[in-house]
Structure 1
Amino acid sequence: MDIRCFNTLKFLPDVLVNAFSAAGQQSVFYSLPWFRNYLAAVEGPSANLRLLTASGRDAQAALVMLRKQSELPLKPSMLIGAQNYYSCLFGPAYSGQPNQALFDAMLSLAGQEQVDLLDLHPLDRESPCYTLLKNALENNGWWVDEYFCFGNWYLELNGRRYSEYYESLPSKLKNTLKRKKKALDQAGNARFEIIENGPDLDRIIADYIRIYNASWKVPEPYQEFMPGLFKTCAEQGWLRAGVAYVDDEPAAAQLWIVHDKQALIYKLAYDERFSKLSVGSILTAMIMEYVIDRDHVEMIDYLTGDEPYKQDWMSHRRERWGIIAYNPRSLKGLIHAAAHFGAKRWKHMRQTGKNADNQPATQQHDP
C-alpha cells in the first residue's frame, strides 16, 4: 500500500488524477475542477492543503483536507474537508472498489498530522464511503461521532419529458406559472436567456452579480468564487446559466450545473424590485424544460436545504451528514471530546427524564 500526503493539487500522479475523474462522475463536488476553483477563490495561495492518499493494487483513494487553527475554545488544531457553505457535498475521490484497508491507510496520515480534531461534511450518508470513513477513523484511534447537516430535495424523472413532469406539479404552482407568464407575454417587456458558453459569458456573469447584489441575499464574502465557478463550468461543458430581463434590466439569474445526466440547481437570485412578477419561478421552469428535454437529465437536485418551495418542484428527500473525530492522544482533543460527549450524554439524560415525567402515573388500588 502506497500512502502519501501532498500539499498541492498540481502535478498529481496519473492514478490519482484518474481517481478524481472517476469520482467526478459521481458528483461535480468530488472533481478536480471544483476543488481547484474553491481553493483558488476561497482559501488562496496560503491554503494549508493536505491531500491524503492511498493507492493499492486495484484501488486508489484521496481526501482533500485543510489544516487550520479552530476558533473553538483553546484553539485546537484541525483537519477539515476542503469545503464551506459553497460545497453542497464532500467526500473522497476514489477509483476501483473502495475497501476498509484502503481507507484505514489513507486516514492513518491524519494521525501523523498530530491535530486535535478532524471534521468531514457534508457527506452522503448512503454512500459506502461514509461507513468506510467512520470506521477508518475509529480504527486509527479517533473518538468519532456523526451529526446532521441538512436535508436535500431532488427529483427523479424516470424517463418523463418536461410536459409530463409539469403535469405532476402542485396546482397552485402551475396556476402561478401560467398566470405570471401570460402577464409577461402580454406586457411584452420580458425576455429570457439560457447559455452554456460563448461570447456572452462575461455579460451573463456581470448580470448575475448585479442581480445578486440587488437581491435579499448576504453579499458574497469571496468575490472571485462565483465568476470562477461560471467559467469552470463553461470550460467543462457543465454550465446552464439563465437570466431573465425586464425592460432590458437583469431581473433574475440562476446557475445550474449539468453533468452525467444530473442537473444541480446551484444558485438562484432575483432583484427584489421584480419579485411580484415571479420571474424567478418562470426562469426555473424554463431551465427545467431545457435540461429535461434537451440535456435528457435523469435527476434534478435542489442541493442544500429544506425550504418549503423546493418540495413543490422535487419528489424525494435525503440527508447530508457530518463526521467529527477527536484525537484522544492530544490534551486539547481529549478536552473537546469530553465536552462534546459529556454534553451529548447530558442532553440524552434530560430528554429521558422529560419523557419519564410525561408518562401517565400508574393508578394505585387498595387491596
Structure 2
Amino acid sequence: MSYTITTESFDSIIYSWDKLRHCLKWSSVFILPAWLKVWWESFGREAELYLRMLWQEKKAIGFAPLQLTNETASFIGSADVCDYLDFAIAPGREQDFFTTLLEDLREKGISKLDLRPLRYDSTVLTQLVGIAQNRGYEVLRHPEDVSLELDLPLTWNEYLAILKAKQRHEVRRKLRRLWEAGSVEHHCIEVGREVAGYLDIFLQLFSLSRDEKAGFMNPKMESFFRSMSKAMAEIGLLRLGILKLDKVPAAMTIGFDYNGAHYLYNSAYDPQFSHLSVGLLCKILCLKESIEKGKKKWNFLKGGEPYKYQLGGQEVPLYSCQIVIA
C-alpha cells in the first residue's frame, strides 16, 4: 500500500475538522485540534512542532500531534492541564499508521518517544507498544497517576442507589441543607460569546481558594484558561456549572460534553459558603443534570481525590511510556 505523510498546521487541521472528526478516532477533548492549538500558543513554541497526517490516497489514516526536542518526540500537551493524550487514528489502521510514523521519526533523527499521560486503553499502549517490541525496540511503561470515571445510570434515583448507604445519606443531607439556606439556583450551561464574563466569575472564585489552587492560577495559566474556554465554546463543547445562593455565585465548574460523556475539568468556590459544601454540591448538581440529559459517562478526570470515590468514580490507570527507536 502507498501512503503519504503531510506536514500540517493547526489551522489546516481545524479547517478540515468537519471531515476529519468522522474518519479518525479522537478519543478525548485533550487531543482535539482546537485544544492543542491553545496549549501550543500558551506553553509550547520552544520545541519543534511535528504535526503529521498519514493518508492513503485521499483517505486520512491517522494524525500525530507531536513536538520534538533534541532527539526526543513527545505529545503536544502537558500533564498539568491535559489529563491524557494519544494519537488520532482511523479504527483498524493502527498498524499502518504506527509503522509509517516510526520510520518517518527515525528518518528525522528521533531516537526516543516519551509519551504521557496515557490511558490504559490508549492506542499507544494497546497498539504502538506491541509494534515497537516486535521491532526489537526498548519499551518502558510506568504507572503515573489515576483518573476516575463513572458509567451513568438512566435516572437520578438509580445513581443514588449505587452509592454506599453513608454517601447516599450525605448527598441527600447536604442538598437538603443547601435548599434550606436560601434561594438556590444551579445551571450547567452551554455558553457562546458570553464566555469571558463567566470566566471572570470563575477566576474570581478560584482566587479565593485557600489551598494549592491559588498558586496554580498564575497569569500564564489564567491566559490559557481564557483561551481554552473560548476555543471549546466555539466548537460547542464547553459547559459551565454555576451554583448561586441568594443570587450570589457560590461555586462553579468548568467541564466539557464530548462523545456522550461529561468531563469535569476544574472547579472553584467561595470559602464563605464552605459550611454548605457548595464546591461538592455544584459538582453533584452538574452530575444530576448530566443524567437528566442522557449522558452515558461522567469523567472526574485525573487525580485520586476522596470525593471522586465517594461519588462512585472508578479508577482508570494512567501511564507514561518511553520507546527507544535508535
User: What band does the TM-score fall into relative to the shorter chain?
Assistant: 0.7 to 0.9
Residue identity in the other structure for 2:311: W
Structure 1 residues 91 and 125: CA distance shift in structure 2, 3 A: same
Pick one of 314, 318, 321 that aligns with 2:319: 321
1:192-239 deviation digits (Å, cap 9, x = unpaired): 332211464222111111111221213234222212222222222222
3-state SS, counterpart of residue 150 of structure 1? strand
The equivalent of 2:201 in structure 1 is 207
**2:188 aligned with 1:188:** no
How far does residue 165 in structure 1 lie from its aligned partner after superposition? 0.8
3-state SS, counterpart of residue 10 of structure 2? coil
How far does residue 66 in structure 1 lie from its aligned partner after superposition? 0.8
1:54–1:103 CA contact under 8 A, matched in 2? no
The equivalent of 1:106 in structure 2 is 101
How far does residue 325 in structure 1 lie from its aligned partner after superposition? 2.1
For these two proteins, the number of residue pairs brought into alignment is 318
Structure 1 residues 147 and 92: CA distance shift in structure 2, 3 A: same
Structure 1 residues 18 and 198: CA distance shift in structure 2, 3 A: closer
3-state SS, counterpart of residue 227 of structure 1? helix
- When the two structures are superposed, what TM-score results if normalisation uses the length of structure 2? 0.85
Structure 1 residues 172 and 23: CA distance shift in structure 2, 3 A: farther
The equivalent of 2:271 in structure 1 is 272
How far does residue 150 in structure 1 lie from its aligned partner after superposition? 1.6
The equivalent of 2:48 in structure 1 is 48
1:96-121 deviation digits (Å, cap 9, x = unpaired): 52242331111222212324532111
The list of structure 1 runs, each at least 4 consecutive aligned residues, that deviate by more than 6 angstroms after superposition, is 13-17
* Larger relative contact order, structure 1 or 2 (CA cutoff 8 Å, min sep 6): 2
Structure 1 residues 13 and 28: CA distance shift in structure 2, 3 A: closer
1:193–1:244 CA contact under 8 A, matched in 2? yes
3-state SS, counterpart of residue 221 of structure 2? coil
CA distance in 2, matches of 1:239, 1:279: 21
The equivalent of 2:232 in structure 1 is 233
How far does residue 3 in structure 1 lie from its aligned partner after superposition? 4.1
For 1:63-102, list aligned pairs within 5 A.
Answer: 63-68=64-69, 77-84=71-78, 85-102=80-97
How far does residue 190 in structure 1 lie from its aligned partner after superposition? 4.5
The equivalent of 1:332 in structure 2 is none
Residue identity in the other structure for 1:95: A
CA distance in 2, matches of 1:103, 1:80: 15
Which is higher, the Rg of structure 1 or of structure 2? 1
The equivalent of 1:357 in structure 2 is none
Structure 1 residues 6 and 93: CA distance shift in structure 2, 3 A: same
Residue identity in the other structure for 2:41: A
CA distance in 2, matches of 1:94, 1:16: 14
1:154–1:300 CA contact under 8 A, matched in 2? yes
- When the two structures are superposed, what TM-score results if normalisation uses the length of structure 1? 0.77
The percentage of counterpart residues that share the same residue type is 21
CA distance in 2, matches of 1:55, 1:42: 29
For 1:266-305, list aligned pairs within 5 A.
Answer: 266-294=265-293, 296-305=294-303
Structure 1 residues 24 and 223: CA distance shift in structure 2, 3 A: farther
How far does residue 90 in structure 1 lie from its aligned partner after superposition? 0.9
Residue identity in the other structure for 1:317: E
Structure 1 residues 80 and 325: CA distance shift in structure 2, 3 A: same
The equivalent of 1:117 in structure 2 is 112
Residue identity in the other structure for 1:28: V
Residue identity in the other structure for 2:49: L
CA distance in 2, matches of 1:277, 1:99: 49
Residue identity in the other structure for 1:322: S
2:300–2:308 CA contact under 8 A, matched in 1? yes
